[in-house]
Amino acid sequence: MNMRNTRFWALMSILLFVVACAQSPNKDQNETTSENPLFNTFNQPVDFAALTAEDIREAVTAIQRISNATIAEIVKIEEGDRTFENTMRAYDQMLSEFVSISSPIYLMAYTHPDSAIRNSAMESNTELSQYGNEISLNEDLYKAIKTYGYSEEAKQLAGHKDKFVSESIADFERNGFALIKEDRDLLKSINDELAEISDQFSKNIAEDDQFLIVKQGDMDGLPEDYRAARKQEDGTFKVDLSYPSYLPFMKYSKSESARKALYLKYQNRAAPENLAVLKQLLQKRLEMAKRLGYQSYSAYRLADRMAKNPQTVWAFETKLKEDLKVKTALDLQELQAIKASHGGGLDLMKSWESSFYSNILLNEKYQLDAEKVKEYFALEDVIEGLFSITQTLFDLEYKEVLNPSVWQKDVRMFEVYQEGKLKGIFYLDLHPRANKYNHAACFGMINGRMTPNGYQIPMATLVCNFPEATPDKPALMPHSQVETFFHEFGHVLHQMMTTSEIYAQSGTNVARDFVEAPSQIFENWVWNYDAVKLFAKHYQTREVMPEALFNKMLAAKNVGSGIAASSQVFYGTYDLTLHDKFDPNTDQTTTDVLREVQNDILPLPYVEGTHFQAAFGHLDGYGSSYYGYLWSLVYAQDMFSLFDENGILDKKTGLRYRDIILAKGSSEDALALVAEFLGRAPNNKAFLKELGL
Q: Of 308, 670, 683, 642, whose CA–CA distance to 514 is shortest? A: 670
Catalytic residue among 287, 488, 501, 523: 488
Q: What DSSP letter does each residue of 159-176 carry, written as one string?
A: HHHHHHHHHHHHHHHHTT
Q: Of 528, 491, 488, whose CA–CA distance to 509 is shortest? A: 491
CA 342 – CA 361 distance, rounded (Å):
11
CA 496 – CA 447 distance, rounded (Å):
8
Helices 181-206 and 115-136: crossing angle in degrees, nearest 10, is 160
Q: Of 110, 132, 126, whose CA–CA distance to 461 is shortest? A: 110
**How distant is the alpha carbon of residue 650 from its chain centre?**
28
Q: Of 196, 145, 139, 187, whose CA–CA distance to 292 is shortest? A: 187
Residue 634 near residue 627 (C-beta atoms within 8 A): no
Residue type, 162: D
Q: Is 415 designated active site? A: no
For residue 238, the surrounding DSSP H or E stretch is strand 237-240
Other CB atoms within 10 A of residue 377 CB: 26
Burial, 384: exposed, middle or buried (Cβ in 10 Å; 0-12, 13-18, 19+)? middle
Beta strand 396-401 with 454-456 is: unpaired
Backbone angles phi and psi of 368, in degrees to 5: -110, 110
Q: What is the dihedral of CA 351, 357, 359, 364, to 10 degrees?
A: -160
What separation in angstroms does the CA of 138 have from each of 64, 89, 185?
14, 18, 10
Burial, 83: exposed, middle or buried (Cβ in 10 Å; 0-12, 13-18, 19+)? middle
Q: Of 627, 634, 628, 598, whose CA–CA distance to 613 is shortest? A: 598
Q: What DSSP letter does each residue of 2-58 carry, written as one string?
A: BSB-SSHHHHHTT-SB-----PPPPGGG-GGGTT-TTSPPTT----GGG--HHHHHH
Contacts 24+ apart (CB under 8 A), 650-658: 650/393, 651/392, 651/393, 651/395, 653/393, 654/392, 654/393, 654/394, 654/395, 655/393, 655/394, 655/395, 657/393, 657/394, 658/393, 658/394, 658/395, 658/497
Helices 115-136 and 90-111: crossing angle in degrees, nearest 10, is 150
The residues carrying an active-site annotation are 488
